[in-house]
Amino acid sequence: MRSKIVAGNWKMNKTLKETEALLAELSAKRPDTEAEIIVAPTFVNLATAVSNLASSVIQVAAQNMHFAENGAFTGEIAADMLLDIGIDTVILGHSERRSLFGETDDFLAKKVDTAMAKNMRIIFCFGEELQERQAGRHFAVVEGQLKNALFHLDANAWQKIVLAYEPVWAIGTGETATPEQAQEMHAFIRKTIDEKYGASVAQNVTVLYGGSVKPSNAEEIFSKPDVDGGLIGGASLKADDFIEIIKAI
């Protein structure tokens, strides 16, 4: 079911104390909204976040996970470990995982399969780099990322997928895609899904935009018909900014 979502990707930020403080502030200031609100703190603080938000509508997601069931994967986290502490949503394919940690579409497809087997919800990130957009290849790149990591799934599986289009050149740079650029790509994403799965899957999938969303630009971006919300990095680390972005939806 297509829904409105504002998700905060905290990346490698916030100690335990800072996590607790930010969660308390978000809970206190959270506006009434029909949108889902999700936060993704770092792994070591996830269990605390789940417990501190036990009576809140704010949900907790993980920023990543490994595809293997368990075993000799030093430094990695398995799906069951997340499920066991009450987390069933995971961000996969973030551009920092792709560019800094070498995650490929094929590798991500395995993670997607594991998440599906475990009945988890995926926030799947993808998007083109600056030189790809400058060369006019952005549609082809995005199409390839979707096909390679997700198009082996059956139509039913798409109920568990949230897409997050994040042009790499807009992440953490202060440079945002214009609302028109976001809408253009989101419409293309739906068309690509429609061609493979049909209109029902394409119209029901939630597609978020990510990349330097902030209080000053959120409303305009969210107003576009194919933009269902945002994946927010930097601006999710300050309660007031994140709250303003939630209000914008």
**229 lines the binding site for ligand PGA (CB under 6 A):** no
Q: x/- string (CB under 6 A) for ligand PGA, residues 151-170?
A: ---------------x----
Size of site (CB under 6 A) for ligand PGA: 13
Q: x/- string (CB under 6 A) for ligand PGA, residues 6-25?
A: ---x----------------
Smallest gap, in angstroms, from Cβ of residue 194 to ligand PGA?
25
Phi, psi of 210 (to 5 degrees): -140, 145
Known catalytic membership, residue 94: yes
CB distance 249 to 218 below 8 Å:
yes
**93 lines the binding site for ligand PGA (CB under 6 A):** no
- Per-residue tokens: 73: 């994967």
Q: x/- string (CB under 6 A) for ligand PGA, residues 169-188?
A: --xx----------------
Phi, psi of 135 (to 5 degrees): -85, 5
The one among 109, 112, 231, 246 contacting ligand PGA by CB under 6 A? 231
Identify each DSSP E strand in the chain by its residue range.
Answer: 5-9, 36-40, 59-60, 89-92, 121-126, 161-165, 206-210, 229-232
**41 lines the binding site for ligand PGA (CB under 6 A):** no
3-state secondary structure of 74: coil
Q: How far apart are CA 217 and CA 106, in angstroms?
A: 34
Q: Tokens 């957009």: give the residue.
A: 133
Q: Which of residues 206-225 bind ligand PGA (CB under 6 A)?
A: 210-213
**233 lines the binding site for ligand PGA (CB under 6 A):** yes
- Residue at shortest CB range from ligand PGA: 233
Active-site residue, from 66, 94, 138, 186: 94
Selection from 39, 57, 36, 63 nearest residue 49 by Cα: 39
Q: How far apart are CA 168 and CA 128, in angstroms?
A: 6
Element of type H or E holding 215: helix 215-222
Residues taking part in catalysis: 94, 166
Site residues, ligand PGA (CB under 6 A)? 9, 166, 171-172, 210-213, 231-235
